[in-house]
Each structure stands twice: as C-alpha cells, then as structure tokens.
Amino acid sequence: MLILDFDGVIADAFTECAVVTYYADHEPAAVADKPLATLAANLPAGFLQRFRLVRTHARLLQDFMVARNPAAEAITSVDDYEALLESIPAKKLASLTRGATAVRKALREQQSEAWLAMHTLYPGIGDLLRRHQGRGTSVVTAKDEDSVWQILAHHGLESTVTQVIGECSDKRTAVQELASADGLPASAITFIDDHITNALAVRDTGATSLWAWWGYHTPGHIQRAITRKQRRVYLPELPQLTA
C-alpha cells in the first residue's frame, strides 16, 4: 500500500499557503472578493521571506503562523522556530488557524479555478499515482480533506486515491490504522513525506518510510536524517518505485 503526504510531496502550494497565512485574521468573504493574483501580489516581501523560512520547519497549518511574527526573519535553527511557535498564545494560535482554514475555504469556493491553479504537481507524481490505481493508495496530510480531493480532481487523479486523511497531526497512528483496516502489516506500507519528523515516526512502525528530497527541509533536517540513516527518495526514482 502506498501512503503519501500531500503538500511538499504530491503538490506544491507555497503561494497559496502564504496567502491563507497572511490573511488569517481577515474576514474570509472580504478576502475572497479580491482576485487571488492581487492577494498574492500584495504579500509584503518581508513576510514572504519569513514564510519561506518557516515553511521548511512547519508540519501543520498552525505552524505557518510563526511567519506572521517579524522575529521569524532571524530563524536559524529548529530551536529558534519552536521558541517562536511556543510564544504564540494557544487561543490566538487556534483562532489564526481557524481563520486561515476559513480563508482557504472561501477562496476555494469563490475563486475555484484560480485557487486550483496555485497547486502544481511535482514531476512524476501523476504517473506514480496512476500506476498504483486500484491498490489502496491513500493520502495522509495536514491539509483539509476537501481541498485535497478538489486538487486531485483538478489534475484528473481523484480515482487514483481511495482515502484522504486530512488535518492529520499524528501520521504514525494514521498509517497504522490504514494498514490495520486493510488487514496489512506495517511492513506492507510504503510511506512518503517531506518532513523528517513524519518520515522517522512512520519508519518506527516497521513501514518503508521514504523522505521526499524534493519537498521542504532545513540543514538541521538533513543532519537528523543522516544521523538516523533515513532513506531519501528522489523525483527521478519515481518511475521505478512500486509499493
């Protein structure tokens, strides 16, 4: 069984994620009334620079909110990032995350074509999914389920996936439950994620866990992967990958 992360593995949505993060404290309907291209063009350069740094550390939508803090421009390590994340009051973080989700939903519904166009597939991913069609392929992601299904459909890939586990913060448990539901041992699973924490957590179940080199990572992640001897997977390998 093949189980994939979505953002950073199947599709790249850097600008869309930046937009929903920046406008997380705005009224969703008012945001969606403006063309997506305008919203993206109006993102301050400083925010985009911070978001680029934060994106390499983030696993969940709430993690992106660190980029809203000007201090994020000085992030040089995981510790720097985690300190800023922990400095956001829990209620504020929850509110911003709900706001970003609502902005995403409004954009998806009111500017469907422009929103979908912001999600580009990584080379070879479409072929990988089509080759595994009918074999129980699933997506386990921090992104919401509705968004994933719509993006897959936009690229003609909705029939290649049997299940999407969205807004997932515990991929280890999700992978174990998917395997159990199909009566499979963890060793029958091939999992691909671009975040080293997820890759290592799932590897510890006994699954074949592959760290997607084409996604988002930091020098610290690379060192951690080397120390833990985590296997990487590269885009040119996808035509030969079978799960």
Q: What's phi and psi for 177, nearest 5 deg?
A: -70, -35
| Cβ-Cβ contacts under 8 Å for 169 (sequence gap 6 or more) | 59, 60, 142
Decide if 51 contacts 65 (C-beta within 8 A): no
Number of Cβ within 10 Å of residue 153's Cβ equals 12
Residue type at 97 in one-letter notation: T
Taking the C-alpha atoms of residue 55 and residue 158, their distance in angstroms, rounded to an integer, is 26
Domain locations along the chain: 2-11+121-240, 13-117
- pLDDT tier at 135, thresholds 50, 70, 90: very high
Query: Could you report the per-residue pLDDT of 84-106, keeping only the tens digit for each?
Result: 999 999 999 999 999 999 999 99
Taking the C-alpha atoms of residue 63 and residue 43, their distance in angstroms, rounded to an integer, is 18
Residue type at 160 in one-letter notation: T
**Count of positions (residues) in the chain:** 243
Decide if 179 contacts 186 (C-beta within 8 A): yes
Tokens of 169: 């913060």
**2-11+121-240 domain in CATH 3.40.50.1000?**
yes
Q: What is the dihedral of CA 46, 48, 50, 51, to 10 degrees?
A: 160
- pLDDT tier at 205, thresholds 50, 70, 90: very high
Query: Could you report the per-residue pLDDT of 101-123, keeping only the tens digit for each?
Result: 999 999 999 999 999 999 999 99
Q: What confidence score (pLDDT) does residue 18 get? A: 98
Q: pTM (2 decimals)?
A: 0.94
